[in-house]
Amino acid sequence: MRLAAAWSLFFVGLVWGDQTLIQRYQLPAKDIQQIVVSSNGRDILFTAGGSFANSQRCPQIYHMDIVNGVDSVKRVSTGLGAALDPNFLADGSGYVYSSSFEFNNITSCGNTVKPHFFSIYRTDSHGNIIRRLASRSTHPVVSADGTRIVYLYKNQIWSMNAVTGKEKTQLTLFPIYGTKTDLRVGAKGHHIFFAQEKRGHKTCYKINMDGSDLESIECRHHWKGLKDVIPTQSRILYVSPNGEYVVYTDSKKEGIFVYREGNFDYELREPVPIENDLSLPEEKHLKNIKQLTFGGQNAEGYFSFDDQSIVLQATGPSRYGTTCDQIYRLELYPTPTKETPLKRLSTGLGACTCAYFHPNGETTIHASTFLNASFDKHTANSCPPKKCHSDESRKDPVLKTLCNTSYVWDLFPDYDIFKVNKYGNIISQLTNTPGYDAEGAVSPDGKHIVFMSVRTGDPELWIMDFDGSNQRQLTFELGYDGGPFFSPDGTKIGFRASRPKTEEEIEKYKLLLKYDLVEPLAMELFTINVDGTGLRQITKLGGSNWAPFYLNDNKRIIFSTNFNASFFGAFDLYVINEDGSGLERVTYNKNGFDAFPMMSHKGDKLIWGSSRNGRDPTELNLFLADWVD
């Protein structure tokens, strides 16, 4: 079901049994352009610009759970260009919409009414693009059985397979004026209804799904005897073809209401029982461990400043529909389950890393390569290829040798840091220099961002004001300096660093950098003052010591290390004083992986990534525990 809207408030009216329940949601509906209700009546897709959007007010597609209301609103389109014509897939597995993001960058959403700048996309439930279904096409509508999509291409109505985008069939032979077209599929999936307006005159038609039996029909809204529920002063906006849904306005309350006859059979989200005990007897600092994510590779979970939410990066084809990380927001209360939806804050394009909250609780930063993302003919598989999995690694003998003899991290040169609003719509691009800019964190007062940059040719720490101005270098020694975080009092920065010393180490380090690679097998922890003075090495453990984060006392640092591991890829969490004393083990996940720790701002919780309770060796999930000193 879809409608146009331009009201100051957005209301949803629900019928539960014999009672009419009215829930009032404070959405700026003057910015809402299209609304679609799911077949089960629980969810809404809407198109909105204005206060929802980025600085260019480009319309995007958003999802809202009716029961949970405004707090559940998440963007499901890319946040780039303009996005219109939202649809639910019939099986509830994702969405279909049209967008101009391949033709418009983040600084423009022009061409929003030019069909040849739009294409049609199918996504998963996170909004991550599975396939481009049709190029230079608009107005997609999914059939009731979910097998077909009808749409406009070159002012004609076409039909295609809803899964593959193939089996394209032209249904009309006269021009349809797309910008004023109302295109629908009947409830039984047998007919297409469309209306077009030309020079103020509206004409309505019906045509079979195979393109036969075109006929003109009367243009009118249907009323199914709902006067006992809907006030007489209301105006009917839309009735679903089977009469099950009615959308109307109330002139006195200035709202939009959705009425559905009968009961709502909502599936309750019960807590998912944990199959295994998540705690280990040796882990005396961790109590009441709770699993927050369930499948895929989930990492770098960082608290909002009120400790009510986290941002994280996650990937995995089966769980997220992606093969490289995207950024998501997850609410911590009530405790997440397997059914809890994540809000994607990144575009869904390219690779992403290292998100962090601003103290205002709405603005976040993260790094992404989406500006240089490329697409094949059908699938937006836009992840940058890892250097050691690229064609170059098979053709270049030097690179091939390095890849065969080293464990490496890619420093993709297309990474830049972006600031986004609570829906993930881009506010501004903060870095724009050649080479890798990523690994950013926000200061406790919200005034600065520390990050890592390779703009000088060597990975060094930099700091900038929160608006991206006044960028200045903090570290200058040869070696990879990265993963920085501010201390709770905002005076110091903890980070990881490699320090190649011998000629052989330096030669290999520089050679890897030529290919935008680093070898993270020998790293120690360091701290530095925010003004660039007072550089100190904290650990001298050997191995790989990384992911440092200050505890709330401003004196101790929790981090991940493999210095005493006997199994490759095994890491545990340790705590150490910033003077290098008092090393203490925190996790005891034998031959497992524990990393990315962060202490809550109140100092009573710890979040980290762990392989414990995983269904396979590659699974990495986030866990939350009470911290016991």
pTM of the model: 0.86
Q: Amino acid identity, residue 412?
A: F
pLDDT at 568: 86
- Residues 37 and 532: their CA atoms lie apart, in Å, by 54
pLDDT band at 109 (very low <50, low <70, confident <90, very high): low
Cis geometry, peptide bond prior to residue 334 (ω within 30 degrees of 0) = yes
Decide: 436 and 387 in contact? Cβ < 8 Å. Answer: no
**Bridge partners of 482?**
496
pLDDT at 249: 46
Q: Given the structure tokens 């009510």, which residue do they identify? A: 308
Q: Amino acid identity, residue 445?
A: D
Fold annotation for 2-177+226-260 = Neuraminidase (2.120.10)
Q: Amino acid identity, residue 109?
A: C
Of the candidate CATH numbers 2.40.50.140, 3.40.30.10, 2.120.10.30, 3.30.420.40, the domain formed by 286-373+382-627 belongs to: 2.120.10.30
Burial of 405 (0-12, 13-18, 19+ CB in 10 A): exposed
% of residues, the chain, pLDDT over 90:
62
How far, CA to CA in Å, does 297 sit from each of 364, 607, 615, 618? 21, 15, 12, 7
CATH topology of 2-177+226-260 equal to that of 286-373+382-627? yes
Tell me the average pLDDT across 522-532.
98
Residues 6+ apart with CB under 8 A from 95: 45, 61, 63, 76, 86, 87, 88, 89, 122, 123, 125, 127
Residues 6+ apart with CB under 8 A from 129: 78, 121, 122, 123, 348, 349, 379, 380
Closest CA to 184 of 60, 52, 50, 34: 34
pLDDT at 259: 45
Residue 253 has pLDDT above 50, yes or no: no
DSSP symbol at 593: B
Higher pLDDT, 213 or 10: 213
pLDDT tens for each residue of 288-326: 999 999 999 999 999 999 999 999 999 999 999 999 999
Q: Amino acid identity, residue 505?
A: E
pLDDT tens for each residue of 112-150: 556 678 999 999 999 999 999 999 999 999 988 899 999
The average confidence (pLDDT) of the chain is 84
pLDDT at 57: 67
- Can you give the residue ranges of every domain in the chain? 2-177+226-260, 286-373+382-627
DSSP symbol at 620: B
pLDDT tens for each residue of 342-390: 999 999 999 999 999 999 999 999 999 999 988 776 566 799 999 999 9
Residue 24 has pLDDT above 90, yes or no: no
- Residues 411 and 212: their CA atoms lie apart, in Å, by 56
Torsions phi, psi of 399, nearest 5?
Answer: -65, -40
pLDDT at 190: 73
Residue 265 has pLDDT above 60, yes or no: no
Closest CA to 334 of 398, 274, 387, 269: 269
- Strand 32-37 relative to strand 43-48: parallel, antiparallel, unpaired? antiparallel
Decide: 320 and 621 in contact? Cβ < 8 Å. Answer: no
How far, CA to CA in Å, does 91 sit from each of 63, 146, 155, 586? 16, 7, 29, 44
